Amino acid sequence: MKKESEELVGVKEIARRANVSIATVDRVLHDRPGVSLKTKEKIQQIIKELNYQPNIVARTLASRKKLKFAIIIPASSEETSYWKAPLDGVLQAEQELRQYGISVEKYLFDQNNRKTFVKQSATLLQQKPDGILLAPMFVEESNQFMQQCREQSIPVVFINSDLPGQSGLAYFGPDLYQSGYLSAHLISYLVRPSDSILMLHITRELEMDHHLLRKEEGFRAYWQQQGYTHELITLHIGQTDTETIRHHISRQLKNSSIRVLFVTNSRVAAVAKVLEELDRTDLLLIGYDFLEDSIAYLKKNVIDFLICQKPQEQAYLGMMALYDKLVLNQPVKSVHFMPIDIITRENHLFYNN
């Protein structure tokens, strides 16, 4: 009750100083039409001078419109549990946003099936959400989805990967180029002059995972800048089952000069399983993401380093960016690069996604 009273006193004081009605101040606070530019600027200046902080809960509840956010991200699968972390971030944000009358609808698709994305995105748009959190996977389909969002004036936040040629409200994720660049720098300490490096892209459709190619670009840039001459073997494994991965890796390892395997996504645990079965303790393995199965292999000394970029935090911050824009009417920074963390057996206990 005290906060509501203080809130009213603040609005009254602003109205008194601006010589306008409380209703006019309310229109400016809620960014509603009907106030001249001159009066609006005058009121905003007084708000700034008073360092007035409106009671956001009261202001939101007073608004009769209930906001609806939607997310569209891949579902976690047997192949990789990576997408559980972003979903946890969404659930964390949802708990906080519920008090402001904001609901969150979740649309999950199969990252190996374009049709599931098309179906889920169409269903999502029929619900007319006020803001969307998107993990872009299929470039062509995601571009079409973004076009529809623009036509409906729906702000979209990207997580995990950006979308070439598209700009949403904001992007929360790694600097993909720098991620690959850092990986190369790390590996440069591990290889001898005669060693070869095997870079593995394990994904159904490499062209849809442009973020993997961006990492490779950063990796190669570092290698070239340093003038290294090590053989760099790049392999795209288009089937993600263990048997196919085992077949391709076993064949590549006939090259006895290979010392380091670098996996450009979260499927590093599948490679670790193969190396463990082959008893190749002489090889070094580096990959991505802080997942249960990967941590298990890290602890067993099969995986040497994990590169992590806080997927749970990406999703949480992405949801809160929609809140900042649609509830607080605050400007949102367009790019938020996440930290690029190197996790080892020694420090994994102190890390959170």
Strand order in the sheet with 196-202: 231-237, 196-202, 258-263, 284-288, 305-308, 341-343
Spell out the domain ranges in the chain: 2-62, 68-174+311-336, 176-308
Percent of the chain, pLDDT > 70?
Answer: 93
Spelled out in words, what is the top-level CATH class assigned to the domain 2-62? Answer: mainly alpha
Is the pLDDT score of 1 beyond 50? Answer: no
Tokens of 254: 């006939």
Please check whether the domain covering 176-308 is classified as CATH 3.40.50.2300. yes
Per-residue pLDDT tens for 288-304?
Answer: 999 999 999 999 999 99
Above 70 in pLDDT, residue 351? yes
Rounded CA separation 166/153 (Å): 15
Contact predicate 255/283, CB 8 Å: no
**pTM of the shown model:** 0.82
d(Cα 202, Cα 193) in Å, to the nearest integer?
27
Same fold, 2-62 and 176-308: no
- Which amino acid appears at position 40 of this protein? K
Question: Rounded to whole angstroms, how far apart are CA atoms 156 and 72?
Answer: 10
At 210 the pLDDT is: 81
In one-letter notation, the amino acid at residue 264 is: T
From the list 319, 321, 292, 289, the residue with the least C-alpha distance to 305 is 289
> For 213-228, what is each residue's pLDDT tens digit?
999 999 999 999 999 9
CA dist 160 and 177 (Å) reads 13
7, amino acid identity: E
Per CATH, the number for 68-174+311-336 is 3.40.50.2300
